[in-house]
């Protein structure tokens, strides 16, 4: 195939734009924040499950505390009733029985109050655990929100780069012979489409050409479209090719 040297040189610009398009496509499909956001989502799920457990512990303690407080109220009411009956009793045997019951109620109330104090300590600890867990979830949510916003901004920026590079590529391709662009596209679909030959090195694959290959290139006309013997791309020759 024949093509003007200046048209072949534009293929290098086309290759650079294709590289930029691929990079932008990867960036918008895989923002760097995405991995951490997924980690945070999993972490939040684990933290939320633990918070649910802690809330259950607090609710159980609260229910038990309410039951004991109800028992204390019952004991107080009964002790007050017995004290009132004792004050008006004239029967020694009845009075003795009431005194014994009042003493038993006092012991029962003391035991209940001890249990109540223990439960209040457990409730305080449960509330502290919940507060700590909620703080962890809030911090996780905050980091997730920041990263999600940054990820959206990165995707938007990548979209802008993708669109700009695509427009530039279309503009360049429109100025080149259709057959040359078609050849370039076929090559680019499986690897390198085009690369500069600089000081006998193909800049597409970074391989230094052998002496026999360099000799063959010297014999080619300026408008011949030649290929890199190493990677198969269109090898664009300039004054810096070392030929």
Kindly give, in sequence order, each residue whose CB lies less than 8 Å from that of residue 108, ignoring residues fewer than 6 positions away.
75
| Cut 0.85: pTM above it | no
Q: Where in the chain is the domain with CATH 1.10.287.1700?
A: 28-160
Looking only at the bridges linking them, the beta strands covering 226-227 and 194-198 are unpaired
- Contact of 58 with 126, CB cutoff 8 Å: yes
Third-level CATH fold of 28-160: Helix Hairpins (1.10.287)
The alpha carbons of the chain give a radius of gyration, in whole angstroms, of: 42
Estimate to the nearest angstrom the gap between the alpha carbon of 170 and the chain centroid: 35
Write out the two tokens for 85. 């009956």
Q: Could you give the CA distance from residue 161 to residue 156 in angstroms, rounded to a whole number?
A: 9
pLDDT in tens, the chain (243 residues): 999 999 999 999 999 999 999 999 999 999 999 999 999 999 999 999 999 999 999 999 999 999 999 999 999 999 999 888 888 876 878 778 888 998 999 999 999 999 999 999 999 999 999 999 999 999 999 999 999 999 999 999 999 999 999 999 999 999 999 999 999 999 999 989 999 999 999 999 999 999 999 999 999 999 999 999 999 999 999 999 987
The kind and range of the H/E element at 92 are helix 92-175
- Whether the CB-CB separation of 172 and 14 falls below 8 Å is answered with yes
C-alpha to C-alpha distance for 17 and 221, rounded to whole angstroms: 27
Is 1 exposed, middle or buried (CB count within 10 Å of its CB: 0-12, 13-18, 19+)?
A: exposed
Q: How many angstroms separate the Cα of 142 from the Cα of each of 38, 41, 87, 149?
A: 14, 12, 66, 11
Tokens for 128?
A: 């502290």
The answer to whether 202 and 231 are in contact (CB under 8 A) is yes
Q: In 3D, which of 73, 83, 81 has the Cα closest to residue 108?
A: 73
């Amino acid at each position: 195939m024949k093509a003007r040297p200046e048209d072949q040189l534009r293929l290098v610009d086309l290759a650079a734009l294709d590289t930029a398009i691929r990079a932008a496509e990867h960036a918008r499909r895989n923002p760097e924040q995405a991995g951490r956001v997924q980690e945070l989502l999993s972490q939040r799920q684990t933290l939320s499950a633990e918070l649910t457990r802690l809330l259950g512990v607090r609710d159980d303690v609260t229910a038990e505390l309410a039951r004991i407080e109800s028992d204390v109220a019952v004991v107080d009411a009964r002790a007050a009733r017995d004290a009132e009956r004792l004050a008006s009793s004239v029967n020694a045997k009845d009075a003795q029985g009431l005194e014994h019951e009042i003493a038993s109620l006092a012991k029962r109330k003391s035991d209940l109050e001890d249990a109540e104090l223990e439960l209040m300590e457990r409730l305080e600890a449960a509330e502290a655990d919940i507060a700590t867990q909620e703080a962890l979830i809030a911090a996780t949510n905050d980091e997730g929100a920041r990263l999600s916003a940054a990820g959206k901004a990165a995707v938007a920026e990548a979209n802008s780069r993708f669109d700009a590079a695509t427009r530039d590529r279309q503009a360049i391709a429109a100025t080149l012979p259709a057959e040359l662009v078609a050849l370039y596209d076929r090559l680019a679909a499986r690897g390198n489409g085009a690369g500069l030959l600089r000081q006998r090195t193909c800049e597409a694959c970074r391989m230094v050409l052998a002496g026999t290959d360099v000799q063959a290139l010297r014999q080619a006309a300026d408008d011949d479209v030649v290929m890199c013997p190493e990677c198969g791309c269109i090898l664009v020759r300039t004054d810096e090719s070392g030929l």
